[in-house]
Amino acid sequence: MKKLFILVFVCFSLSSNAQILEGQVGIGSGFMNMVERFQGSSVRFSYPFSYAFGLSLAENDSSIALVALYNQIEYSLQRDFSPNRVLKMNSFQLGVEQINRAQKTAVGYRFTTGVGSEGDNPYVENSPFICISAAFLISQQLGDRLRFEAQPGLFWADVANSLRGSNYWDTAGEDVSLIVNVGLRYQFYKN
């Protein structure tokens, strides 16, 4: 998945007239499987640990940018008397974000979609699924090229199975999560 991330962004860079290239890293936590949690499920979910990194390309005077993100979320769940299962969810997403980079303090948003996988065994290949995320971007300038950023947002995993019917919707409620990442955004290049 990391090779795909690099390949897509190299293609963006070669085909784009972008004049701003930014990198971002972040870590965070939140609430996994919100619908199932609020329905009073017997499954108990830990607070997740999330990390993400990404690249964005924009034209010099534009607040709109193309974004490529890699995100990993690790959490555990326990059903009744069974032992804890530690799950890792990886996703690679492409999308668009809007934020005014010229302001010292800026608020914006990001919409992405992509492919993810989830599992508890690193030696077994898991089936990929479609994922969607939407986040607010709250950014504070720390220097000429560096910004601090908070990114509260919703992450919806396995969208296709969630929408197949009412029986699936009842069991797929665990697919919507609230993740809040905080981190840094660095401007590598500006023409």
Q: How far is Cα 60 from Cα 188, in angstroms, rounded to an integer?
A: 13
Instruction: Give the start-to-end residue ranges of the domains of the chain.
Output: 2-190
Amino acid type, 92? F
Q: How far is Cα 77 from Cα 32, in angstroms, rounded to an integer?
A: 10
Q: Longest Cα pair distance anywhere in the chain, in angstroms?
A: 59
Average pLDDT, rounded, for the chain: 82
CB of 163 closer than 8 Å to CB of 176:
no
Pick the CATH number of 2-190 from 2.60.40.10, 2.60.120.260, 3.40.50.2000, 2.40.160.20: 2.40.160.20
Task: Give the best-scoring range by mean pLDDT among 37-51, 129-143, 166-180.
Answer: 129-143
Over residues 48-102, the pLDDT tens digits come to 999 999 999 888 777 889 999 999 999 888 777 777 888 888 999 999 999 887 8
pLDDT the model gives residue 92: 94
CB of 67 closer than 8 Å to CB of 97:
yes
Q: Tell me which long-range contacts 116-123 makes (C-beta under 8 A, separation of at least 24).
A: 116/89, 116/90, 116/91, 116/92, 116/157, 116/158, 117/89, 117/90, 117/91, 118/87, 118/88, 118/89, 118/90, 118/157, 119/87, 119/88, 120/85, 120/86, 120/87, 120/88, 122/88
pLDDT higher than threshold 80 for residue 172? no
Q: How far apart are the first and last CA of the chain?
A: 30
CA dihedral 16, 64, 100, 108 (to 10 degrees): -140
Report pTM.
0.79
Task: Read off the tokens for 70.
Answer: 């890699």
Q: How far is Cα 131 from Cα 55, in angstroms, rounded to an integer?
A: 19
